[in-house]
């Protein structure tokens, strides 16, 4: 059966790769996934949080229910792989993060469990829209996801280029960071470049702000904690011989706790407003919370590790991986219910699957599809800790 399933997984994955859709526009994707799940005999519910869906499979008389989640959205990136037979057919969009593979692995787990029926309880297969911008999980929960489809725990995964194909890594506690975005607007007074004393130069002020922000992590944060502040855009309305009136700085911060998020926001606001006030400029500071940190529940890390070891062997599983500063919308689910998020190696070195995520030449490694499907199916079979 598994040889047949591998071929099916590959067909599903490559079809989804050819038809990418971005956040909250996953109409065709949702239709395709729902059709597969319906064909497998599952109870499918559509339109949850927009284009999201949930499919239920109950076997036996067990009272427990778990969620297995896949993300559905693609990215606004033009695929640069003309030699690829399954290249994106939608201009300017591609599955550059591997959500096509994530969906296929969950579909594969659904097929394994539907055909073998070798578990006791209910599995809810959750297909989430709009992961890339941190909106889909909240939309599904606002639409009553966990009230309509209650679960005891939720499990998710992401492929990881740079990790040996088919290996697993996870950890208890924070595994991925929150992402907060900021916009700093400095309003000075423009003037001729030859007469700087007539104006209030927002470039000089903004430059001081960029440098001062880098001291917050090193001087305001406990060294045992982790955070990153990155200024990623610096925009002015000046010309070659004109000192501008306005500068906009944009960027993001990463951290693992609400307390650190609050400290970063407070200190950044104080630094920006204080420097502007010193130089006689006005400051508008906006700080928004985009992604919650992904914090694994210790008791369900054990379930995920057992499932991974059963599928891939002890040597292929790292149960204490170093936390990463990347962000994932799955973190919002973990604030509502316990569970675990795990990385699955997509390929290392220069071989298949090693191209970085969000790269225009990236492709999900089809060789790990069956491993991922078997992992998620194995989770459904294992005994869950009491909650």
Enter the tokens of residue 170: 């996870």
Residues making up the chain, counted from first to last: 387
**Distance separating alpha carbons of residues 4 and 85, to the nearest angstrom:** 21
> 3-class DSSP state for residue 319?
coil
Per the CB < 8 A criterion, the answer to whether 353 and 89 are in contact is: no
Q: Which of 71, 131, 329, 363 is catalytic?
A: 131
- In the DSSP assignment, the letter for residue 386 is P
Q: What value does the CA radius of gyration of the chain take, rounded to a whole number of Å?
A: 23
Q: Which of 73, 132, 179, 378 is catalytic?
A: 73
Question: Is 131 a residue of the active site?
Answer: yes
Enter the tokens of residue 253: 């911060």
DSSP element (H, E) containing 277:
helix 258-279
Enter the tokens of residue 229: 């502040």
Question: Is 73 a residue of the active site?
Answer: yes
DSSP code string of 128-153: ES-TTTT-HHHHHHHTTHHHHS--SE
**Distance separating alpha carbons of residues 245 and 198, to the nearest angstrom:** 12
Using DSSP, how many helices (H) and how many strands (E) does the chain show?
10, 16
Kind of pairing, strands 227-236 and 52-59? unpaired
Residues labelled as active-site residues: 73, 131
């Amino acid at each position: 059966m598994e040889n047949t399933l591998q071929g099916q997984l590959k067909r599903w994955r490559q079809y989804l790769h050819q038809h990418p859709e971005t956040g909250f526009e996953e109409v065709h994707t949702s239709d395709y996934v729902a059709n597969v799940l319906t064909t497998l005999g599952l109870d499918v519910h559509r339109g949850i949080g927009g284009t999201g869906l949930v499919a239920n499979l109950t076997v036996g008389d067990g009272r427990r229910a778990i969620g297995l989640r896949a993300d559905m959205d693609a990215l606004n990136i033009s695929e640069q792989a003309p030699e690829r037979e399954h290249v994106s057919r939608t201009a300017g969009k591609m599955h550059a993060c591997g959500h096509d593979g994530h969906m296929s692995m969950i579909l594969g787990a659904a097929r394994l469990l539907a055909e073998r029926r070798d578990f006791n309880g209910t599995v809810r297969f959750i297909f989430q829209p709009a992961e890339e911008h941190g909106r889909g999980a909240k939309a599904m929960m606002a639409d009553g996801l966990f009230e309509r489809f209650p679960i005891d725990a939720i499990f998710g995964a992401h492929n990881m280029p740079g990790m040996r194909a088919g290996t697993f890594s996870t950890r208890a506690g924070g595994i991925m960071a929150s992402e907060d975005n900021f916009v700093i607007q400095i309003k000075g007074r423009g003037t001729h470049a030859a007469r700087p004393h007539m104006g209030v130069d927002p470039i000089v002020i903004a430059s001081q702000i960029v440098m001062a922000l880098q001291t917050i992590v090193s001087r305001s944060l406990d060294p045992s904690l982790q955070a990153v502040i990155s200024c990623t855009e610096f925009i002015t309305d000046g010309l070659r011989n004109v000192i501008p009136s306005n500068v906009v700085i944009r960027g993001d911060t990463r951290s693992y706790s609400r307390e650190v998020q609050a400290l970063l926001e407070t200190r950044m606001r104080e630094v920006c407003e204080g420097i502007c006030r010193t130089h006689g400029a006005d400051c508008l500071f906006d700080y928004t919370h985009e992604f919650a940190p992904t914090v694994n529940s210790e008791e369900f890390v054990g379930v995920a590790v057992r499932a991974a070891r059963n599928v891939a062997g002890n040597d292929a599983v790292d149960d204490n991986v170093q936390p990463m500063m990347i962000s994932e919308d799955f973190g919002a689910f973990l604030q509502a219910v316990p569970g675990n998020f795990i990385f699955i190696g997509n390929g290392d070195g220069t071989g298949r699957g090693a191209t970085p995520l969000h790269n225009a030449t990236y492709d999900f490694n089809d060789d790990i599809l069956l491993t991922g499907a078997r992992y998620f199916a194995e989770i459904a079979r294992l005994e869950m800790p009491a909650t």
